[in-house]
Amino acid sequence: MILEDFKNMNDILNQLEKCMIVPVVVLENAKDAKPLGEALCNGGLPCAEVTFRTEAAEESIRIMSESFPDMLVGAGTVLTTEQVDRAVNAGAKFIVSPGFDEEIVDYCLEKGITVLPGCATPSEVAKAVKRGLEVVKFFPAEQAGGLPMIKAMAAPYTMVKFMPTGGINPENVKDYLAFNKIFACGGSWMVKNTLVENQEFDKICELSKEAVTIAKSIRG
């Protein structure tokens, strides 16, 4: 990895951290990508983790990235290096995996791609630290022990910040964001499948604004 790649990765992480809350998006139809991206940007959340759980993910990333150049669009639930290539070619600026997949992490680092691997145990965090990563995803957050587990792992791994995802909601997100080792929180409450399916993009915009207000009440 060359110095320029390292700088770009840091820039992306800095932008992502400023968002404080990262919408975790599942899109069944790529036609919803543009109005959803617009709703998130207008709501003050110009970022999204578009999960590779559906066939529409790749095209949705492409549409969001092209329609909103200033929006930080990444790919989530990435399970293979082939998906990494597809996501990045579509415009994804960062890769998120549900677990610590050494092949995916090493592949991304080799290519200078920002990657946030899922880590739910100290052993997985240790693998991340060994590779020079300073930010990891904590998934599934609530089911894996929530904030107490993050605090326990952050004690020995003082150089690591966590992005909890899974079970994060408007109530508990405040507690997470109040801890200084939380990088940002991944959440889907403002982009629920039913809201997208029913084309309730005004509601998504409204919920995004509320999420930003909550985050700013904790972090200013």
* Residue-range definition of the domain harbouring residue 12: 3-208
pLDDT confidence of residue 92 = 98
d(CA 179, CA 11): 22
The CATH number of residue 33's host domain is 3.20.20.70
Q: Which residue has the tokens 């910040």?
A: 161
Q: How many domains does the chain have?
A: 1
Whether residue 81 is contained in a domain is answered as yes
pTM beyond 0.85 = yes
Active site residue 206: no
pLDDT confidence of residue 61 = 98
**Active-site position among 38, 49, 181, 192:** 49
Whether residue 213 is contained in a domain is answered as no
**Active-site position among 7, 66, 110, 137:** 137
Whether residue 46 is contained in a domain is answered as yes
Whether residue 217 is contained in a domain is answered as no
pLDDT confidence of residue 2 = 61
Active site residue 49: yes
d(CA 18, CA 10): 12
Whether residue 216 is contained in a domain is answered as no
Contacts of 168 (CB under 8 A, 6+ apart): 141, 142, 176, 185, 186, 187, 189
Query: Quick check: bond before 140 cis, omega within 30?
Result: yes
For the chain of 220 residues, list the mean pLDDT of each consecutive stretch of 10: 75 97 98 98 98 98 98 98 98 98 98 97 98 97 98 98 98 98 98 98 98 96
pLDDT confidence of residue 3 = 62
pLDDT confidence of residue 162 = 98
Whether residue 220 is contained in a domain is answered as no
